[in-house]
Amino acid sequence: MAKIDFGGTIEDVVTRDEFPLAKAREALKNETVAVLGYGVQGPAQALNMRDNGIRVIIGQLPEDKRYWDKAITDGWKPGETLFSLEEAAAKGTIVQYLVSDAAQMATWPKIKTCLKKGDALYFSHGFSIVYKDQTGVIPPAGVDVIMVAPKGSGTSVRRNFLDGSGINSSFAVFQDATGRARERTIALGIAVGSGYLFPTTFEREVHSDLTGERGVLMGALAGIMEAQYNELRKNEHSPSEAFNETVEELTQSLIRLVDENGMDWMYANCSATAQRGALDWRHEFRKAVEPVFARLYQSVVKGEETRIVLKSNSAPDYKNKLDAELKEMHDSEMWRAGAAVRSLRPKNWKK
């Protein structure tokens, strides 16, 4: 493992220099990777592995036509590389359990009977294992239980793979029944297209992931955008101006500079007026949200967020309620303004 200085803290990480794709292929040459679930992470990880020369099959509910048909469109063949969840799990030596967290709880009684001694049970989220008292997911003793958790959506995992950049992932071994669990985990992490891999535990992964999704990555980001947009509109700024100052400049300019060089560099390369205001108000916003993050983290650790997710996502009317919530966001003035702004972006400004 490479030792990297992360802001004064030395961490061990795995890069492609020390564990190249050729080594991953060798480690997985006798494995059949069964990817269960072709919804969010499943397609990206399966396609990346297939492109990297790994033997992959898909497990998907045939009655869920949207995802079954998507798998066929992507080149998976029913009866050859595309099967039901149970059939794929039985055929695989590594079972990538990539159905949703609620679906893992629902399908586990059948999937666990398909696992054979020496198999590996792979997760991309620590949810079901850490909150086993709620999910009932308790693996048998004879299988490796491992995790590779890409730090991005399935769309980003695939997109970054195709453009050659990869996406960073955490990895963990919960149970090593074969003595090969760590090697299998890292090989899979390289095969699914990770830029580099950093160690964690199932518990730390799920605590950070649930906090991040509800916080900066999605919940807090959306909430802060809405608050600023609404304040500008309340003070008679046009929808176009409010959206551009709230979202468009962030996504099309500033966040790209942060990505390339860091927040300090972005601050150093904006106007003196923007610098001064941002440096001052940064502390105000941090103080304002610190108590919210403290409550959020404790809600995650105590399993309250898990309880809410499992109850909501297992309800028979879940999809209808979800569609209604997403429609409310889609139909809001802010995101209708966003659609208009995006439509006006030059398709090729050099012409």
Interval 110-139: pLDDT, tens:
999 999 999 999 999 999 999 999 999 999
Q: What is the largest CA-CA distance in the chain?
A: 66
| 125 counts as catalytic | yes
Give residue 350's pLDDT band: very low, low, confident or very high (50, 70, 90).
low
Active-site residue, from 125, 207, 237, 283 = 125
What is the reported pLDDT for 4? Answer: 83
Output the CA torsion sign for 51, 57, 59, 60: positive
Q: What share of the chain has pLDDT > 70, as a percent?
A: 99
Could you read off the pLDDT of 40-51 as tens digits, one per residue? 899 999 999 999
DSSP character at residue 57: E
Cβ count within 10 A of residue 144: 24
How far, in Å, CA of 190 to CA of 73, rounded?
A: 25
Please give the average per-residue pLDDT across 56-76, as a whole number: 95
Does residue 107 register a pLDDT over 80?
Answer: yes
How far, in Å, CA of 143 to CA of 322, rounded?
A: 36
Q: Coil, strand or helix: which one is 28? A: coil
Could you read off the pLDDT of 320-343 as tens digits, one per residue? 999 999 999 999 999 999 999 999
Say which residue the tokens 């079972």 belong to. Answer: 95
Residues counted in the chain: 351
How far, in Å, CA of 316 to CA of 62, rounded?
A: 19
Pick the CATH number of 2-200 from 3.40.50.720, 1.25.40.20, 3.40.50.300, 1.10.10.10: 3.40.50.720
Could you read off the pLDDT of 244-290 as tens digits, one per residue? 999 999 999 898 889 889 999 998 888 899 999 999 999 999 999 99
Return mean pLDDT, the chain. 93
Say which residue the tokens 């050659």 belong to. Answer: 164
Give residue 8's pLDDT band: very low, low, confident or very high (50, 70, 90).
confident
* Extended beta strands in 16-135, E state: 33-36, 56-59, 82-83, 94-97, 120-123
CB under 8 Å to 229, separation ≥6 — which residues? 242, 243, 246, 247, 334
Does residue 55 register a pLDDT over 80?
Answer: yes
Helix, strand, coil abundance in the chain, percent, nearest 5: 55, 15, 30
**Domains of the chain by residue range:** 2-200, 215-343
Q: Coil, strand or helix: which one is 99? A: coil
